[in-house]
């Protein structure tokens, strides 16, 4: 965050990631709520030495003794009776002088999901989260959700008073048939159903009692509908095909509907997967987009997005259902629960394998529906890059995760460009065959392709294209390259550019610039 002028402060309002505090002489006690809230949500900046007037506009007041305030802050961070976790490093604290007044800027990173909640006063009830520009105490369900997110084996829970009669026989036989074909040497077809289910981990032994019990994953994956809702009363899975002129939908698959009895996760996956795959080769026209009628590997992206939605859901939540939707230019996938990795890791392909339901992952992997946990996001981004689709929209909070997967490329308006500007833009977007392997170009490479354009004129053209967000400048001046803006996800994905560029592309939030 760069705050070097009064104008920069005035333009920066409090938000989900910015909090002002007056803090004249001491570190303000109520600022610890913001520390907890930022750490438990998506991180943010605590700025000391700025207050607000009656119109909620920031006013530069400054701090008198920055070193004392920072020292007090760091001292309290080390007191576990005051703060449960210290996530601050030296580089997260800095000062700035604006119009002879000093402010203190503290960057509070989001805590790892296994370290949440970050709470105050040695009391879990003093856990805060950030909602818009306010710090809020968590309620009982939110706290339970945060604590539950620490676990990496939720679906291993053993269920008492459940047995094989609570499972759908057709689902078991169909799944066994799939595995028998994939792994003929394991002789699954010769096993009785109870032995088969124990073999694949659906039934597991309680080591304290030596008794065999059904697991949560087994109930969700193979269960009869009534048996599932006995344990998960808010369980609901849904699918909508919202293409066409219907005001609601043209086709729907939902649990609880007598047309789809015993819609466990296995049956839900089979039914909806078929609909998703059938939707791939379709033609449609919209004014706003240039549509790719035969996208490459779209079935891979749809499979990964759909399976990820199922295996990463928090089935203990009552906030939303599993929902998959087909729209004209995009697909939507919604599941209850927050992602266990930061959103930025989804886009960079560096997602660590943090599993919420490892047994469900195993069941889907065995049948060939997913390769392994953690690879899905990279496969999705690979398909987006290859087809130059519009960047996916991804939102995730304690209640739900929402993914919109576009299958269209934004239509760029270049009607206001002059002929030489169009030539440069066309080269960057669609270089000659000899340069097809490259998607980023130096000024020298562009100049060599257009020797009729002077160096000074080319500089002005590149600046104009950048200002209009048609291209993106990458790197420092001497090493600067230029890429087409709508495909810059490819640069980030394959070359690992900085998080600042990611924010520029995905978050469109200029408050940090």
Entry pTM: 0.79
Helical ranges in 312-416 per DSSP H: 343-348, 358-366, 376-387
Contacts of 360 (CB under 8 A, 6+ apart): 155, 217, 220, 221, 265, 310, 311
pLDDT at 276: 95
Ranges of each domain in the chain: 6-148, 154-230, 233-410, 419-512
Choose the weakest-confidence range: 75-89, 194-208, 214-228, 280-294.
Answer: 280-294
* Helix or strand (DSSP H, E) at 273: helix 265-278
Measuring CA to CA, which residue among 288, 424, 396, 263 is closest to residue 333? 396
Choose the weakest-confidence range: 69-78, 207-216, 227-236, 348-357.
Answer: 348-357
Q: State yes or no: pLDDT of 311 exceeds 60.
A: yes
pLDDT at 503: 40
- The larger pLDDT score, comparing residue 144 to residue 497, is at 144
pLDDT at 195: 97
pLDDT at 371: 66
Choose the weakest-confidence range: 10-14, 30-34, 139-143, 227-231.
Answer: 10-14
User: How does residue 411 score in pLDDT terms, banded at 50, 70 and 90?
Assistant: low
pLDDT at 505: 43
- The larger pLDDT score, comparing residue 426 to residue 469, is at 426
Q: State yes or no: pLDDT of 201 exceeds 70.
A: yes
CATH dotted code for 233-410: 3.30.565.60
Average pLDDT, the chain: 86
Cα–Cα distance, 349 to 81 (Å, whole number)? 38
Cα–Cα distance, 31 to 415 (Å, whole number)? 50
- The larger pLDDT score, comparing residue 298 to residue 375, is at 298
User: How does residue 103 score in pLDDT terms, banded at 50, 70 and 90?
Assistant: very high
SS3 for 231?
A: helix
SS3 for 260?
A: coil
CATH dotted code for 419-512: 1.10.10.10
Q: State yes or no: pLDDT of 495 exceeds 60.
A: no
The whole-number average pLDDT for the span 153-169 is: 96
Q: State yes or no: pLDDT of 498 exceeds 50.
A: no
SS3 for 94?
A: strand
pLDDT at 480: 87
**Class of the CATH domain delimited by 6-148:** alpha beta
* 246-273 residue pLDDT tens: 678 989 999 999 999 999 999 999 999 9
pLDDT at 353: 65
pLDDT at 365: 94
């Amino acid at each position: 965050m760069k705050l070097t002028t009064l104008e920069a402060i005035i333009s920066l309002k409090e938000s989900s990631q910015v909090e002002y505090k007056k803090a004249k002489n001491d570190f303000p006690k109520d600022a610890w709520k913001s520390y907890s809230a930022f750490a438990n949500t998506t991180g943010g900046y605590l700025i000391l030495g700025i207050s607000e007037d009656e119109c909620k506009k920031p006013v530069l007041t400054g701090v008198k003794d920055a070193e004392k305030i920072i020292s007090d802050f760091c001292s309290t961070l080390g007191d576990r009776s005051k703060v449960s976790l210290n996530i601050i490093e030296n580089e997260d604290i800095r000062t700035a002088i604006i119009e002879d007044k000093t402010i203190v800027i503290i960057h509070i990173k989001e805590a790892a999901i296994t370290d949440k909640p970050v709470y105050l006063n040695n009391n879990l009830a003093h856990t805060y989260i950030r909602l818009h520009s306010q710090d809020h105490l968590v309620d009982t369900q939110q706290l339970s959700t945060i604590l539950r997110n620490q676990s990496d084996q939720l679906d291993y829970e053993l269920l008492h008073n459940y047995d094989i009669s609570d499972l759908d026989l057709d689902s078991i036989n169909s799944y066994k048939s799939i595995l028998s074909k994939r792994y003929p040497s394991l002789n699954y077809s010769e096993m009785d159903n109870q032995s088969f289910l124990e073999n694949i981990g659906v039934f597991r032994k309680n080591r304290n009692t030596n008794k065999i019990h059904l697991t949560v994953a087994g109930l969700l994956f193979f269960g009869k509908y009534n048996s599932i809702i006995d344990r998960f009363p808010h369980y609901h899975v849904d699918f909508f095909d919202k293409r066409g002129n219907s005001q609601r939908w043209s086709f729907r698959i939902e649990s609880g509907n007598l047309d789809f009895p015993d819609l466990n996760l296995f049956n839900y996956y089979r039914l909806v997967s078929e609909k998703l795959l059938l939707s791939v080769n379709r033609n449609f026209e919209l004014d706003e987009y240039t549509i790719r009628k035969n996208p490459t590997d779209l079935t891979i992206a749809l499979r990964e997005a759909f399976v990820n939605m199922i295996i990463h859901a928090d089935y203990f939540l009552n906030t939303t259902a599993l929902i998959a939707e087909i729209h004209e230019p995009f697909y939507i996938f919604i599941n209850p629960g927050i992602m266990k990795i930061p959103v930025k890791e989804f886009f960079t392909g560096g997602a660590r394998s943090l599993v919420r339901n490892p047994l469900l992952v195993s069941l889907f992997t065995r049948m060939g529906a997913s390769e392994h946990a953690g690879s899905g996001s990279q496969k999705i981004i690979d398909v987006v890059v290859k087809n130059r689709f519009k960047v996916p929209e991804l939102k995730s909070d304690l209640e739900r995760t929402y993914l919109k997967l576009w299958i269209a490329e934004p239509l760029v308006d270049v009607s206001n460009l002059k002929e030489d500007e169009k030539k440069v833009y066309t080269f960057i977007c669609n270089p000659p065959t000899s340069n097809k392997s490259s998607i980023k170009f130096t000024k020298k490479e562009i100049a060599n392709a257009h020797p009729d354009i002077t160096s000074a004129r080319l500089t002005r053209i590149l600046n104009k294209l950048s200002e209009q967000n048609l291209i993106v400048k990458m790197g420092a001046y001497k090493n600067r390259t230029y890429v087409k803006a709508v495909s810059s996800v490819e640069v980030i994905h394959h070359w690992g550019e900085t998080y600042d560029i990611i924010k520029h592309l995905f978050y469109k939030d200029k408050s940090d610039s």
